[in-house]
Amino acid sequence: MSAIGGIVFCEGCGNLLPESRGSKKNMLKCECCGLESRDIAQTNTISTTTPGDFPSALRQKLHTSIQTVEKHKIDMMPKTQEKCPKCGAYEVRYTTLQLRSADEGSTVLYFCDCGHRWNQNN
CATH class of 67-121: mainly beta
Residue 13 marked ligand-binding: yes
Q: Give per-residue burial for 49-70: e unless 16+ CB within 10 Å, then b.
A: eeeeeeeeeeeeeeeeeeeeee
- Over residues 47-78, the pLDDT tens digits come to 777 777 777 777 776 665 556 666 667 778 89
Range list for CATH 2.20.25.10 in the chain: 67-121
Question: Global pTM?
Answer: 0.43
Q: Give per-residue burial for 11-32: e unless 16+ CB within 10 Å, then b.
A: eeeeeebeebeeeeeeebebee
Residue 32 marked ligand-binding: no
- The percent of residues above 70 in pLDDT, for the chain, comes to 72
Q: Are 60 and 51 in contact (CB under 8 A)?
A: no
